[in-house]
Every structure is written in structure tokens, then in C-alpha cells.
Amino acid sequence: MRKKVCLILVVCFLLALAGTVALAEPHSIPGGPWIQPEQTVKLESLSQPEDVEKELLTIERRSRGRMEVELIGYSAGYEWPLYVAKFGDADDDKAKILIDTQIHGNEPLGTEAALGLIQNLAMSNNPEVRMILDNVTVWIIPMLNMDGSTIQEFEDGSQYQTRCNIQEWTPVEWGLPSDISAPWYNYGFYYPWFEICRGYDMNRDAHPHLAFDLSKHAEHGHIPPGDGGEPGFYVCPEIRALRDVFKELKPDLYVNHHHRGSALVDEEDRKLMTLQILGKFVPLGLEFELYQDGEHHVYYLDEDSLNLSKQVNALVYQKLTEMGNSPFTHITKYPLVHDFNDGRGLPGTTLASFSMNDAAVMLYETRGGIGQKSSGMLTRQSYIGLYETLLGFATGEVYEIDPEFYDVEIPPAGPSLSRPDRGLDGL
């Protein structure tokens, strides 16, 4: 009897699960589904800044020298310690890869994938993992935006994270007159998409001149507010910390992980995408100029770094879609960022700025924003993408891929399911 009850419960559970899976892939119409303001989202399963610190330090102790954790700075608002997990040295004659996650605090699953990857690289006895670490230097910064990742609660008990960090505009500290406007990507209290925001969209704060120093531009030159077609100002301590790590490693590849609300694969297919990817953030050859320290600096995206970006994106697309019974077949490009801002792209993104410093780049835009039902699948998708990338560099397979695959075979972004009153979400 007891057994029977259990069996009935199991059957009920499986039926409920099947229902959940079916619900997770609805034949949606543009305009939904999205999280309604009154919809409670529980975020307890997500790592918090203190969990990241604890986990990294624990893994370091158990890694027997494979991985080192280094403090690289503090978040602007809550002053959470920021860490990079280092597998290998910057000066090694290996392929070098830098990965960060959660530059937007409310885009969390990249951090879960990165922590899983760090644990596997640090502790696995799999010969393939050994082979990767023998051939690739990997540095990972999980949860770059710890302020925004810190879970907050509304009065009704529902929880949220924020896109921005927590930081005020302080022009006098930069030697600027007190009436100089904040950088355009500083948001007083609300981000335009009705999100609470008390600081900066950190993914507009980068500049291709890695030594850019706002305090040297008080008299003339590149001062705020700026706009989306211009580079940022390195006012966020988190982005300066990332920049310093980039300068130290000089990576061949930089990976930056996000979520966006949701989008269809295409008008006909009407399935929800599971991932959007992209490798180009400013047009090829467009020059960004700057005078600083009495010198004229010019930055632009060149063909070599763009080709490797295409190869990396193509590799990830191929590996995810070619898995047996792959659940990851709904992958498209992200909208073409390099066409934004009258053809100037988004040079203040870390991807754009670093791509103008000889790094290949890859953007992950995991589906998100419709609840947490598919979190496990989406985290696994990012984990596999990152792992296969390391493997592709270790074996050299990535260099064998025809860059044209990226242009021809990876489908363009389908229609967005984001709220029409919002701008483009994600990046």
C-alpha cells in the first residue's frame, strides 16, 4: 500500500514535471511571457557575494596548487571583495582566456556556470581537464557586479537583483567642476526599464585606452556625459579592477556573460531561444581617438581579432547544437550591436573595448526573465559552452574553424519578446 502511494506520487510528480517542461517552451506570441511586477520570484537558490568568496577560497584550498584566488578590488557600494580565480600564469606561453560573469547583477546564471567550471578545473582527475590546464591559462571573475547581485526584498517579500552597481557620481573627486553631468550610463534611481538602479550600468564604463584616466580630462577632452556611441570613463571600481586583470593577462579571448529577457528563434519557428551569442561590438576599422598624456591614441577593431572571435562563437554554436539529443538547438546571434548608435556600435562595453586591444571576444546572452524553471538547463548550456571553448583552445580545434561559419550558419536574432516599453535588454 505504501509502495502504491509512493508510485502514485512519483507519477503525479512526473506529470507535473512534464507540464512544467511544456510550459517552459510555450508557443508564445510576441509581447509575452515576461515577469509581471506583481509576480514573486524566489532567488534563494542563487549564489550571493559571500557564497562566491567562501566557495572560491574553499576550492583554492582543495585544488592543491592548481588554482589561486586573488583579491582584485571591492564593489563600489557594499564594498564586497572581488576575486579572480587564476589557473596558470600570465606569462606562460599558452593560449590565455579571461571570463567574467554577472556584470549586470540581475543576470545571474553565468556565475553558477563559472563556479561549476572553476570547481571542475580545480579538482577533477579527468585527463582532459589536465590537458586543458597544460595548454590554456584561464582566469575567471565570477560575479563582477556584486552590488547588483546582492538580493534585495520588496515590502511584499518578493526578491530582486539590479542591473547597476551602487555608486554616486562624484565629479569633484575626478578634479571636475561640481556641475559636470554624470556619465550617461549613471541612473539616478530607476533604470529606464522600471528597474531599481542606484549607480552605473557598468557595461558602458570601458574605454579602449586601458590607461584612460578621467582626472586627466578636467580641462578638455573626453568628459561626461558622453553617449552610447563613445567609450566610457572607467569610473566604476569594478571595471577598473577588470581592466587591470585584462592588462596583466593580455588574453587571446575575453568572454562576458549576460541574460536577456527572451526572444523567438524566428517568426516561423516561434520557439524560444535558449542562447544568443555575438563576436562583434564595433564596426571593423572604425577609429576611436583620444588625447591623453600629450599623446594621440587611436583604437579600432582589426580583422585578426574579429576572425578569432568568429571562430570561438562558431565553435560554441557547433558544440552545443551537435550534442546527441541536444536541448541546445535554439541558438541565434544577439542583435547586431556594431550597427547601433549610427554605426558606431557600443564602444563602452568591455567586449568592444577589449576587442580593440587584440582580444577575441564572445558574448553569452542566456534566456532569462521568465522565472527560474529552466535555470538548471540554462546554466548547463553556459557551462558546456565555456568548457568546450577551453578544450577548443587546448586542442587547437578553434583555429581550424572557418570564420565564415559565423556569418553564414549562425542564424540572426529572432523577434524579441521583451516588453515594448523597454529598450533592448541584456548586453
Nearer to Zn ion, 279 or 392 (CB): 279
Residue 278 three-state SS: strand
- Bond before 37 cis per omega within 30 degrees: no
Residue number of the CB closest to Zn ion reads 258
Q: How far is the CB of 103 from Zn ion (least distance, A)?
A: 6
Nearer to Zn ion, 104 or 209 (CB): 104
Nearer to Zn ion, 347 or 426 (CB): 426
Q: How far is the CB of 426 from Zn ion (least distance, A)?
A: 5
Instruction: Answer yes or no whether residue 66 interacts with Zn ion by CB under 5 A.
Output: no
Contact 255, 364 (CB under 8 A): yes
Contact with Zn ion (CB under 5 A): which of 207, 258, 344, 367?
Answer: 258
Long-range contacts of 381-385 (CB under 8 A, 24+ apart): 381/274, 381/275, 381/320, 381/327, 381/328, 382/109, 382/110, 382/113, 382/257, 382/275, 383/113, 383/116, 383/117, 384/319, 384/320, 384/323, 384/328, 385/275, 385/316, 385/319, 385/320
Nearer to Zn ion, 52 or 398 (CB): 52
CB within 8 Å of 33: residues ≥ 6 apart: 26, 262, 370, 417
Instruction: Answer yes or no whether residue 333 interacts with Zn ion by CB under 5 A.
Output: no
Instruction: Answer yes or no whether residue 367 interacts with Zn ion by CB under 5 A.
Output: no
Count of positions on this chain that bind Zn ion (CB under 5 A)? 4
Instruction: Answer yes or no whether residue 338 interacts with Zn ion by CB under 5 A.
Output: no
Nearer to Zn ion, 231 or 426 (CB): 426
Q: How far is the CB of 109 from Zn ion (least distance, A)?
A: 11
Residue 289 three-state SS: strand
Give me the residue label for grid cell 557564497: 51
Q: How far is the CB of 215 from Zn ion (least distance, A)?
A: 28
What are 37's three cell numbers? 511586477
Classify residue 3 by burial, with Cβ atoms within 10 Å: 0-12, 13-18, 19+: exposed
Nearer to Zn ion, 258 or 319 (CB): 258
Nearer to Zn ion, 95 or 272 (CB): 272
What are 223's three cell numbers? 568628459
Q: How far is the CB of 164 from Zn ion (least distance, A)?
A: 11
3-state SS of the chain: helix, strand, coil percent to 5? Answer: 35, 20, 45
User: Which one of the spans 25-33, 167-175, 253-261, 334-342 is the region binding Zn ion (CB under 5 A)?
Assistant: 253-261
Q: How far is the CB of 230 from Zn ion (least distance, A)?
A: 20
CA distances from 402 to 232, 335, 417 (A): 33, 22, 32
CA dihedral 41, 44, 46, 50 (to 10 degrees): 140
Q: How far is the CB of 256 from Zn ion (least distance, A)?
A: 9
Q: For residue 76, what is the enclosing H or E element?
A: none
Q: How far is the CB of 259 from Zn ion (least distance, A)?
A: 6
Nearer to Zn ion, 105 or 403 (CB): 105
Calpha distance 175→414 (Å, rounded):
46
Nearer to Zn ion, 171 or 183 (CB): 183
Q: How far is the CB of 260 from Zn ion (least distance, A)?
A: 7
Binding mask 89-108 for Zn ion (x = CB under 5 A): ---------------x--x-
Instruction: Answer yes or no whether residue 425 interacts with Zn ion by CB under 5 A.
Output: no
Q: How far is the CB of 363 from Zn ion (least distance, A)?
A: 9
User: Which one of the spans 119-127, 255-263, 399-407, 413-421 is the region binding Zn ion (CB under 5 A)?
Assistant: 255-263
Calpha distance 214→106 (Å, rounded):
28
Site for Zn ion in 159-198 (CB under 5 A): none
Residues near Zn ion (CB under 5 A) are: 104, 107, 258, 426
